[in-house]
Amino acid sequence: MQLVKLIFLSLLPLFSGACNSNSETAEKAADAGATVPVNSSNPQEIRFVIADQTVSKGDTVCLDIAVRDFNNILSMQYSMNWNPKALKFLKVDGLKLKDLSLNNFGLNRTDQGKMGTAWFDLAVQGITLPDNTPIYKVCFAAIGEPGTSDQVFFSSEPVVIEISNSAEQLLGLAFKRATITIQ
C-alpha cells in the first residue's frame, strides 16, 4: 500500500501538467458558479455540497464538505478558495473519507485563501458514498466586517481539478459557491 501511495504522489505533478489546458476554462466556470468540466467528452461528474452560513464576526465557522454522485471514485485533486480578508483558515477536521488524512491537504497558501487537496484510494478499487455524505470539514474564523458576504468555492488554483473513477474516466466537478455572511 505504501508503494501505491508513493507512486501516486510522485505522479501528481504529471497529472497537473496534463490538465493545465483545462485550467482557464475551469476557472471561468468556477467564477460563474457553474459545473467545472474536466473532460467535456464525458458528462459524468461528482458534486460537492457546502451549505451557506451566517456567523458573527469573531466566530468560528466549520463548513462540511459533502459529496453527491460519488460513485467508484479512485482519485481526486482540486483547490478550495475563499477571501482571506473575510475568512481566516483555522483547520481541516472531521476526516471521514477512507485514506484521507491531513497529509492530503496543501495548507501552505491558506493565508492567500487557497488550499489544494489530492486524494487516492490506496486499495485502487474506487469508493462509493451515499449522497450528502460529509467527507471532511474546513474551519475558519470570521474576520470580515459585519455585513460582509463572501464565498467559498472550488477551482483549479493552485491545484488543477482532476477526478477519476475506477473505470479510468476523467469526471467533472460541480458545485454551488457557499455564501458566508458575517453579521
For residue 43, what pLDDT band results from cuts at 50, 70 and 90? low
Question: What would the mean pLDDT of 21-29 be, rounded to a whole number?
Answer: 37
DSSP 3-state assignment of 94? coil
From the list 32, 33, 102, 88, the residue with the least C-alpha distance to 57 is: 88
- Does residue 7 register a pLDDT over 80? no
Which domain, by its residues, includes 22? 2-182
From the list 2, 73, 1, 89, the residue with the least C-alpha distance to 38 is: 73
Q: What pTM was computed for the model?
A: 0.78
Kindly report the CATH number assigned to the domain that includes residue 6: 2.60.40.680
Beta-ladder partners of 154: 80
pLDDT at residue number 15: 36
For residue range 109-149, what is the model confidence (pLDDT) as tens digits?
Answer: 999 999 999 999 999 999 999 999 999 999 999 999 999 99
Structural domain count, the chain: 1
Contact 99, 122 (CB under 8 A): yes
| Helix spans in the chain (H) | 2-31
